[in-house]
Structure 1
Amino acid sequence: MSIKIALAGNPNSGKTTLFNALTGSNQFVGNWPGVTVEKKEGKLKGNKDVTITDLPGIYSLSPYTLEEVVARNYLISERPDAILNIVDGTNIERNLYLSTQLMELGIPVIMAVNMIDVLEKTGDKIHIDKLSKKLGCDVVEISALKGTGIQKAAEKAVALARKKEAGVPVHEFAAEVESAIRSVEDKLGMEVPEEQKRFFAIKLLEKDEKIQKQMKQAPDVAVEINDLEKEFDDDTESIITNERYVYISSIIDECCTKSRKEKLTTSDKIDRIVTNRWLALPIFAAVMFLVYYVSVTTVGTWATDWANEGLFGDSWSFFGTEVPGIPVLIESALNAIGCADWLQSLIIDGIVAGVGAVLGFVPQMLILFAFLAFLEACGYMARVAFIMDRIFRKFGLSGKSFIPMLIGSGCGVPGIMASRTIENDRDRKMTIMTTTFIPCSAKLPIIALISGALFGGAWWVAPSAYFVGIAAIVCSGIILKKTKMFAGDTAPFVMELPAYHMPTVGNILRSMWERGWSFIKKAGTIILLSTIVVWFLMRFGWADGSFGLLEAEQLDSSILASIGNVLAPLFTPLGWGNWKSAVAAVTGLIAKENVVGTFGILYGFTEVAEDGAEIWGSLAGSMTAIAAYSFLVFNLLCAPCVAAMGAIRREMNNAKWFWFAVGYQTILAYVVSLCVFQIGTLVTAGTFGAGTVIAFVLVLGFIYLLFRPYKESKTLHVNIKGIAGAK
């Protein structure tokens, strides 16, 4: 019989690291039923009948965000056979709050005290035997990062689940907890199923509206709650919280021995520098510059050149032997079987040219993903959210908004979905609207191509693209927060800063590959289909009075050219009003990777050379460097790909909000690109015209929107209900 084990714990407690170690490659990702929150499940190594579910990190069973609701509902509704509760040993007092709630569910619990290696370095000691006796459940020491004790924890969880199946009592609840809950039950006179009694009793006191509606058969509940509040002279939520921490403190005093060394930890010493009021932002800027410099300008460029010129070019060297490139091999194979000319054109000029031009940038992206995985795993990105909170709060967002934007640097879809961790609805909507301004992996080929081709690989182009996105977010936040739709107080920012640690190579490679594989799959589906459609529209049209397959020199008569010529005048004020550039920008709405792929097809190249001379040489007469940067800015800021727009529609859950978000992004992109080209041309070439006047008017209007005074109160009221009585 199959067994279900849930991994539950606080954020940053090491759940995902443990999940990866226990399941290895036996993982699969989906969505929770009814919602689009990512669901991770996997089979335990060596036990194919044991399914492990990695629940979203939660601090308690009182949910506020959608992820927390999902985790709570899974535990209550699905009722797994056992819970493996991961506890951060360096913050055990805070972690035990959730643990006490988990044990009240009546589901067998195994507690795994993680980061035991860090405790050894600090000299702190957790007495596992005493802790196990106090809590009434088995407790094991583990280090998910180093793999210490994880197999023992898994075996205990499986054994506990099998005992439950056999009907054998699995453990006794701690006497103090049991006594406290029993008194609550007596006070409320609850009549609920035995296996849910503990949970409902506590949740009623915490004023869970959903459960109160389910308990209408107990009309005296409200009266009893009021009596209880009068007796304790406090609200019920604070009463329960206080009593939990009183109990937890009694456990900590007996089960934990703290080192008497009063010295700063390594993490504290690092934080004194990287979170310093004056040094934090320059350090962050330097880190991101280094990441993009290595990923896009130097090492990444060398790797991408090899892929474009060799693998997707004429030939590449393999241990001194020249091996034909993929286009050459495919063309030789098609010639050998006598393939029809139109089909050969579709495969070579359409599929290989389009998809190959995009896949050539995969090495560059993998290097970037490896850097981001390292920064996330070592703990620095949590500090970045803390650092950015000071800035974000000035224009109406909290540091929590930076997390979706960070995730969006890989792909906009999970970045948009990550906005669910933001409790404030206005802040969440604004974050959704601005997250895709950060360059995602799909935009990197555009950045790399323009940087290497029109700017001679100038170091500043790639980092400037990243900071253009940051500027768009900052300015959007300031402007939108002054409107009635987004006016209001900013939600308080609370985030745990995990201790710094050196991530394992395996975890970095796994994260890098997951993001890279997602990009490759898109290239094999959406981009493949798009390149076929673009090829058809490009190679068919009206010539010599009839409709049919066109010759290479007749592209200006194609269907695609007709569509592009209608759209091109819209982009003329932006400096790239030719039909090919217009079409490339429009196909980018399907998938941003299509921009480079479309250029590859339109100019008949199966690969993008080192400096992009083949493609950009053809554009030299119609696109200047300023126009190229305008083109780059437009594609960075305009509405994202179809997949990301679908995510915006789901998260907004409202058609009007969706169209407002997409419309705002596109209009902002057009305005900024127009100003970049018109003012840039005035500065570099001295050209002045009606477009320049419009650009200056738009800049002045933009400045006014930025600095006009708030009409709504901008005072932040924070009410912190302390648990001072817990100590």
Structure 2
Amino acid sequence: MEIKIALAGNPNSGKTTLFNNLTGSRQRVGNWPGVTVEKKEGSLKGRNDVTIQDLPGIYSLSPYSLEEVVSRNYLVNEKPDAILNIVDGTNIERNLYLTTQLLELGIPVVVAVNMIDLVERNGDKIDLDKLSKELDCPVIAISALKGKGTKEAAQKAIEVAGSHQVAAIPSIYDKMVLSALSNIESVLGSQIDTSMARWYSVKVFERDERIDEILKLSADQTSKIEPIIKKVEEVMDDDAESIITSQRYDFIGKIVSHAVKKKGSKHELSISDKIDKIVTNRILALPIFVLIMYVVYTIAMGGTSISIGTMGTDWANDVLFGEIVPNFFDGMLTSLQVNGVLYSLIMDGILGGVGAVLGFVPQILVLFLLLSIMEDVGYMSRVAFIMDRIFRRFGLSGKSFIPMLVATGCGVPGIMASRTIEQDRDRKMTIMTTGFIPCGAKMPIIGLFAGAVFGGSSLVATSAFVIGIAAVVISGIILKKFKSFAGEPAPFVMELPAYHLPSIGNVLRATWERGWSFIKRAGTIILLSTIILWFLQGFGFTNGQFGMVEDNNTSLLASIGNAIAWIFAPLGWVGDMAWKATVATFTGLIAKEEVVNTFGVLYNYAEVSEEGNEIWTLIARDFTPIAAYSFMIFNLLCAPCFAAMGAIKREMNNTKWTLAAIGYMCLFAYVSSLIVYQLGGLLLGEVTFSIWTIVALALLALILYLLVRPGYKPKSEALDLKGMSVAK
């Protein structure tokens, strides 16, 4: 018989670490039915009959966010055999609020007090026996990071699931509330499972907007409940939700006073607090973040002695895909007497295109490794806090940074993560701007031009990330002044976990998951498009005859590219490279890795010589620094890949808004690239003064005007001369 155990806990309580520890590689990742919140489940190590369900991190079961709705609906509708409640031992008071709600579900609960090693290091003591007695459920001390006590916690959850042991309902309510609850239970008791009646009653008091849907209450039942709630509120001189919340915290306070002994002074700063005084400082926070990202990009994509990623990419490009792989296939094809068109397809098309993309895997893996470490130690949570202060000034909530953080791996889940933003206007703005953040698929573009044109400059790589953030901020200021987006951004509350050493398993798993998705695309969609590109750039009409061409400037692809390349001439895409840059941009809509893949096919075909594959040299010859930077900016900021466009369509659920989002990104990218090329080129002496210089100046002036102009304000917020609000 299969046993289902649900992991429930607050964000940053160590729930994901525990899940990885219990399931290892036996995980399945997808989305919850009907929503785009990630769903993780897996089999317990050594027990195929035990399924561990990782619920979204939540603070309570009240439906204020999509994660809370998902978790609550799963627990109510699916009714797992047991709940393993992960509690952060260093912040046990706040974590126990969710525990009190879980105990009311009528499902066996095991409380796992996590980070017990940090509790002991701080000199604090948690009496597990007293805590277990107060909660009337098993309590196990664990350290998910070190794997201490995790097996015991899982085994205890299996035991209580088998015995159907259910905790007694804590007596956390005063007599008046209990009396009201019993009245509600009498209304509901005959219709539902009596073991759930009390919890349903409490949820009615906490004004659960979806309680009618779950309980399927009749109008008659609802009419009987409402007077009871009003009576309680009159007698208690407070609203029902506040009464219940207050009683919960009173109950938690009594538990903590009996079972937890704190050694340190309440006002004594922890090590994490001392670090946060520096890294979250209002003045120092942003420069520190930029410096850290500079170091990250230097190690991953720079041209210094510590640039491990670049060393790996250089070896992959020059040795693996420059000598070993081509020589192997050349020898194999020669021995099989393969030549002509098929030889060209394999050597010039597939190896040239796919190899150009896979050559950047070392840089991608190093970058993802460093970002995963930053996430695991707790720093990225601070970054969200830092960016909230910045974003709120420009009309975006700090919640918008979470999707953008996810988008550093891939834009699709980043856009999907916007679902957690409650306000529609903030969610739409987040969807429209998340694509500006350089995702993993855009990293090869940055690496290619940073290496080929800018000598592996770390500043160029770092500037790509800064440009993405700047595009988000500028867009936030401009869009927030229009009626469709006007209004205060949603409040942002986030737990800042204590700093800790990264878990090697977590870091490597996160790095591999992100890196593997990149590699899979190279072996599927990019491989297919490479074949198509090879055909289009290898064949054309010469002297009225169709066939293979020696110069790909006369190919079918060149004809297509030249027909539309004029659109990008103001951006500096001129000469023989214009059609190549244009084609690469359009193939990038399939997948952003296609940009590098396209150059790999085009330049490899053009230079199959004794020198070997000299793509970087050829690109440096065709692109001036300012033209290369213009191309890079446009492809970083313009419309994302088709998969991300599909995600935009799903999240917007409106064709007009989808087209508006994609159109805005393309327009913003074009204007930004034009200004950079025309004005930057003028300053560097690469561009002469022309009509496009005037256009660039006019567009820059327009952007500055849109940034400083007064924005739309709802009529209810309008003020009269005396400063009083007026309604019109």
Q: Same fold (TM over 0.5)?
A: yes
Alignment CA distance shift 1:608-1:120 (3 Å): farther
* Equivalence for 2:278: 273
**d(CA) in 1 for partners of 2:243 and 2:660?**
44
Q: Secondary structure at the match of 1:40?
A: strand
* Equivalence for 1:322: none
Alignment CA distance shift 1:619-1:57 (3 Å): closer
Shift of 1:327: 2.1
Amino acid at match of 1:405: M
Contact persistence 1:327–1:606 (CA under 8 A): no
Shift of 1:341: 2.7
Amino acid at match of 1:22: L
Correspondence 1:392 to 2:391: yes
Q: Secondary structure at the match of 1:190?
A: helix
Could you report, residue by residue, the CA deviation over 1:429-479 in whole angstroms, capped at 9, with x for unpaired residues? 111111121111111111111111112223321111111111111100000
Correspondence 1:313 to 2:322: yes
Amino acid at match of 1:300: G
Alignment CA distance shift 1:211-1:640 (3 Å): same
**How do residues 64-83 of structure 1 correspond to structure 2 at under 5 angstroms?**
64-83=64-83
**d(CA) in 2 for partners of 1:633 and 1:608?**
30
Amino acid at match of 2:556: I
* Equivalence for 1:705: 706
* Equivalence for 1:644: 644
Contact persistence 1:447–1:632 (CA under 8 A): yes
* Equivalence for 1:693: 694
Shift of 1:24: 0.7
**How do residues 29-68 of structure 1 correspond to structure 2 at under 5 angstroms?**
29-68=29-68
* Equivalence for 2:511: 512
Correspondence 1:232 to 2:236: yes
Of stretches 171-180 and 458-467 in structure 1, the one that deviates more from structure 2 is 171-180
Contact persistence 2:27–2:41 (CA under 8 A): yes
Alignment CA distance shift 1:332-1:198 (3 Å): farther
* Equivalence for 1:723: none
**d(CA) in 2 for partners of 1:714 and 1:623?**
52
Shift of 1:202: 1.4
Correspondence 1:187 to 2:187: no
* Equivalence for 1:572: 569
Could you report, residue by residue, the CA deviation over 1:608-654 in whole angstroms, capped at 9, with x for unpaired residues? 99x99933544566532111110000001001111111111111122
**d(CA) in 1 for partners of 2:694 and 2:616?**
30
In the alignment, which of 548, 551, 554 is matched to residue 550 of structure 1?
548
Alignment CA distance shift 1:714-1:39 (3 Å): farther
**d(CA) in 1 for partners of 2:143 and 2:652?**
40
Q: Secondary structure at the match of 1:604?
A: helix
**d(CA) in 2 for partners of 1:712 and 1:450?**
44
**d(CA) in 2 for partners of 1:506 and 1:96?**
28
Identical aligned pairs, as a percentage?
A: 60
> What are the ranges of 5 or more consecutive residues in structure 1 without an aligned counterpart?
315-324, 718-727
Amino acid at match of 1:64: Y
Alignment CA distance shift 1:232-1:98 (3 Å): same
**d(CA) in 1 for partners of 2:608 and 2:72?**
50
Amino acid at match of 1:41: E
Amino acid at match of 1:684: L
Contact persistence 1:574–1:627 (CA under 8 A): yes
Contact persistence 1:89–1:115 (CA under 8 A): yes
In the alignment, which of 552, 559, 562 is matched to residue 559 of structure 2?
562
Shift of 1:279: 1.3
**d(CA) in 2 for partners of 1:296 and 1:461?**
10
Q: Secondary structure at the match of 1:451?
A: helix
Amino acid at match of 1:257: K
**d(CA) in 1 for partners of 2:143 and 2:296?**
29
**How do residues 19-38 of structure 1 correspond to structure 2 at under 5 angstroms?**
19-38=19-38
Contact persistence 2:373–2:507 (CA under 8 A): yes
* Equivalence for 1:317: none
* Equivalence for 1:541: 540
Contact persistence 1:580–1:599 (CA under 8 A): yes
* Equivalence for 1:332: 331
Amino acid at match of 1:565: N
Could you report, residue by residue, the CA deviation over 1:316-369 in whole angstroms, capped at 9, with x for unpaired residues? xxxxxxxxx112212322222233532232222222211111111111111111
C-alpha root-mean-square deviation of aligned residues, in Å?
2.3
**d(CA) in 2 for partners of 1:612 and 1:33?**
51
Alignment CA distance shift 1:606-1:43 (3 Å): farther
TM-score by length of 1: 0.92
In the alignment, which of 278, 293, 300 is matched to residue 298 of structure 2?
293
Shift of 1:562: 2.0
Q: Secondary structure at the match of 1:113?
A: strand
Q: Secondary structure at the match of 2:6?
A: strand
Shift of 1:94: 0.9
**d(CA) in 2 for partners of 1:86 and 1:384?**
25
**d(CA) in 2 for partners of 1:99 and 1:436?**
38
**d(CA) in 2 for partners of 1:358 and 1:607?**
18
Alignment CA distance shift 1:107-1:299 (3 Å): same
Amino acid at match of 1:537: L
Shift of 1:272: 1.2
Alignment CA distance shift 1:397-1:463 (3 Å): same
Contact persistence 1:351–1:532 (CA under 8 A): yes
Shift of 1:144: 0.4
**d(CA) in 1 for partners of 2:102 and 2:612?**
58
Aligned length: 700
Of stretches 28-37 and 255-264 in structure 1, the one that deviates more from structure 2 is 255-264
**d(CA) in 2 for partners of 1:196 and 1:616?**
67
Shift of 1:711: 2.9
Correspondence 1:172 to 2:168: yes
Could you report, residue by residue, the CA deviation over 1:386-420 in whole angstroms, capped at 9, with x for unpaired residues? 11222111110122222221221121112212223
Alignment CA distance shift 1:50-1:435 (3 Å): same
Shift of 1:581: 0.9
Of stretches 656-665 and 206-215 in structure 1, the one that deviates more from structure 2 is 206-215
* Equivalence for 2:722: none
Contact persistence 1:125–1:257 (CA under 8 A): yes
Could you report, residue by residue, the CA deviation over 1:67-110 in whole angstroms, capped at 9, with x for unpaired residues? 22111111111111111000111111111111111111111111
**How do residues 623-642 of structure 1 correspond to structure 2 at under 5 angstroms?**
623-642=623-642
Contact persistence 1:110–1:138 (CA under 8 A): yes
Correspondence 1:215 to 2:212: no
Alignment CA distance shift 1:452-1:284 (3 Å): same
**d(CA) in 2 for partners of 1:180 and 1:440?**
55
Amino acid at match of 1:302: M
Contact persistence 1:453–1:612 (CA under 8 A): no
Of stretches 120-129 and 223-232 in structure 1, the one that deviates more from structure 2 is 223-232
Shift of 1:514: 1.1
* Equivalence for 1:318: none
Shift of 1:121: 1.1
Q: Secondary structure at the match of 2:333?
A: helix
Of stretches 354-363 and 201-210 in structure 1, the one that deviates more from structure 2 is 201-210
Contact persistence 2:442–2:636 (CA under 8 A): yes
Shift of 1:8: 0.4
* Equivalence for 2:529: 530
**How do residues 345-356 of structure 1 correspond to structure 2 at under 5 angstroms?**
345-356=344-355
Contact persistence 2:56–2:71 (CA under 8 A): yes
Amino acid at match of 1:75: L
Contact persistence 2:22–2:150 (CA under 8 A): yes
Could you report, residue by residue, the CA deviation over 1:267-310 in whole angstroms, capped at 9, with x for unpaired residues? 11111111112211111111111111111112211110011111
Of stretches 707-716 and 110-119 in structure 1, the one that deviates more from structure 2 is 707-716
Amino acid at match of 1:225: I
**d(CA) in 2 for partners of 1:476 and 1:707?**
13
Alignment CA distance shift 1:177-1:310 (3 Å): farther
Could you report, residue by residue, the CA deviation over 1:132-186 in whole angstroms, capped at 9, with x for unpaired residues? 111111000001011110010011111112223xxxx444333556988853432
Shift of 1:688: 0.4
Amino acid at match of 1:185: L
**d(CA) in 2 for partners of 1:307 and 1:236?**
65
Amino acid at match of 1:210: R
**d(CA) in 2 for partners of 1:13 and 1:207?**
27
Amino acid at match of 2:123: G
Alignment CA distance shift 1:364-1:706 (3 Å): same
**d(CA) in 1 for partners of 2:435 and 2:717?**
27
**d(CA) in 2 for partners of 1:212 and 1:626?**
61
Could you report, residue by residue, the CA deviation over 1:538-559 in whole angstroms, capped at 9, with x for unpaired residues? 2233333243x41332x23332
Shift of 1:505: 1.7
